[in-house]
Amino acid sequence: MNIQDILTSEVKKAVSTIFNAALPTVEFQATRKEFEGDITVVVFPMLRVVKGNPQVIGEQIGNYLVENVKEISAFNVVKGFLNLVISDAFYLDFFNEMYTNVTFGYVTPQENEKSILVEYSSPNTNKPLHLGHIRNNLLGYAVAEILKAAGKPVYKTQIINDRGIHICKSMLAWQKFGNGETPESTGLKGDKLVGNYYVAFDKAYKKEIEELVAQGVDKKEAEKQAPILLEAQEMLRKWEAGDKEVVSLWKTMNQWVYDGFEVTYKNLGVNFDNYYYESNTYLLGKDVVAQGLEKGVFYKKEDGSVWCDLTEDGLDEKLVLRADGTAVYMTQDIGTAIQRVKDHPDIGGMVYTVGNEQDYHFKVLFLILKKLGFDWAQHLFHLSYGMVDLPSGKMKSREGTVVDADDLIEDMAATAKEISEDLGKLDGYTNDEKAGLYQTIGLGALKYYILKVDPKKRILFDPKESIDFQGNTGPFIQYTYARIQSILRKADFDYANPVADYTLNDKEKELIKQLQLFPEVIQNAAANYSPALIANYTYDLVKEFNSFYQNVSILGAEDEQEKICRVRLSKKVGDTIALAFNLLGIQVPERM
């Protein structure tokens, strides 16, 4: 039981005993630095049930707690704030219990706990993954891991946009300009090869528009009538009609892309439990629309199109089926959500990791699913995030100016190498050890820089700034972890058994207090779908440890009990850093 739970019960008992009153809740806050104490009880809200002077009420409760609660050793009252000093014995007992729990902070799912499906990545199959996808993948993966640590069973999934005019553009360009080249013949990753043909299509398309405009055709008309676009549209019609040649090429080129994506996912350190493909899901939802019409959730216009009127909910009217009976994205998303619950009957909610330009779409989707009467629709969440920019400016995939994910991962390792060599950090390492470490530092820097920011905020990503060995960065935290491992390697004595009857100094106590927060931080991060809470907690823990490291002697302590306690504290901080970074998908190096 944590100290707040103990104190809630004891403060209520005190109020009942002293004032013969029932206190509904107890309000706590952190004790201000200038006052002695570890936790503060706010007396003012008690005035609703206890009449009197807050200072006197605080002193009476404080005296009761010191006399009756072994965890409280002293108190002081400042203007209606009851500051409580918690005994060293409590902190030591708590620490020793925490020390033996190798997954301290993580919760095992309870039996029959409803699972959560987390969707992320969800790319198009006409180009490689880029910087925007990196934020999406890192966020989705971290949120899934945090939810698991908070005690929720999780499915990680994505829906791949493998159909439509975009993939036909790449296919047509490959037919026209590719001379039969393949990833094997070019040595290029399949997603990059297909992406090159998407760019090639755009160049040819623009050239044809220019030629038509030069012949006197209006620009807007030229954009519609360019021969290469008409050919791509015809190819899409053939695909939808099941033309064998087109479908065969589509399967071949998509497989190139999937193989390329897998390499990127592996390098990025993310994974999935299952995949959905738009080519399989785009017809889903049409039956649901028919059912929704019967229930009165949807209505039909004179032209035969089907709509959902959401004006009473402050939104607009939304098309769910075109007049010709074809589905729109909303239809597909309704059908896919329902299909996922059929595939995984234990699903109790879903998290969609999608950029903030789709905020309105998800408001509409969630509301329609609620109106259709699905109970799990109460637990849908759009993990909306801002864009990522580089100092060099915006990205455009049609023009081939996108920041490629693979290139960025490689560049991060190169930047880590350059900075590490300048600092002379890796003397005595073999070349293979150095290469592995550069990858760990570079990826850690990238992931931490992106995940420490609230998802809703836009990010300007500066690779060099992210690989700073000082400040709120991944490498700074990794370096602290490596420093702790060095202390443990040098500890040539047995520190397996806990110390008893030990007086903690302020630095030791502050470190235990910081460690104590970890389970609560995980629960808050899960409730808010925010990896930033984990990242910034870890930075605070590392700052607290470095203050401890600089102010007390660890291995040089003269007292044996002191030495054992401080090494155990160091080890637990290292373990907690590793557990926290594991939730963010970041590795920690044993040496740096």
Q: What is the 3 state secondary structure string of 388-452?
A: EEECCECCCCCCCCCCEHHHHHHHHHHHHHHHHHHHCCCCCCCHHHHHHHHHHHHHHHHHHHHHC
3-class secondary structure, 121: coil
Closest CA to 82 of 24, 34, 43, 29: 43
Q: Which residue ranges in the chain fall short of pLDDT 70? A: 1, 392-402, 423-425
The pLDDT of residue 392: 64
The pLDDT of residue 592: 81
The pLDDT of residue 157: 97
Which alpha helices (H) appear in 504-530, and where do they start and end? 506-516, 518-528
Torsional class of 585: left (φ above 0), alpha (ψ -120 to 50), beta (otherwise): left
CB 76 within 8 Å of CB 48: no
What is the second-level CATH architecture of the domain 412-583?
Answer: Orthogonal Bundle (1.10)
* C-alpha separations of 38 from 42, 56, 428 in Å: 13, 21, 45
Which alpha helices (H) appear in 215-243, and where do they start and end? 219-225, 227-240
CA 434/CA 20 separation, integer angstroms: 68
CA 367/CA 211 separation, integer angstroms: 47
CA 58/CA 27 separation, integer angstroms: 13
CB 573 within 8 Å of CB 507: no
The pLDDT of residue 396: 44
- Please tell me what DSSP assigns to residue 462: -
Tokens of 124: 């198009």
CB 191 within 8 Å of CB 267: no
CA 469/CA 492 separation, integer angstroms: 29
Closest CA to 298 of 329, 330, 320: 320
The pLDDT of residue 397: 41
CATH 3.40.50.620 fits 123-274+326-389, yes or no: yes
Domain ranges of the chain: 3-86, 123-274+326-389, 286-325, 412-583
The pLDDT of residue 46: 96
Q: End-to-end CA distance of the chain, in Å?
A: 37
CA 163/CA 282 separation, integer angstroms: 9
3-class secondary structure, 45: helix
The pLDDT of residue 501: 81
CATH 3.30.1360.70 fits 3-86, yes or no: yes
CB 388 within 8 Å of CB 134: yes
The pLDDT of residue 419: 82
- Please tell me what DSSP assigns to residue 32: P
The pLDDT of residue 415: 86
The pLDDT of residue 425: 64
In DSSP notation, 129-174 reads -BHHHHHHHHHHHHHHHHHHHTT--EEEEEEEB--SHHHHHHHHHH
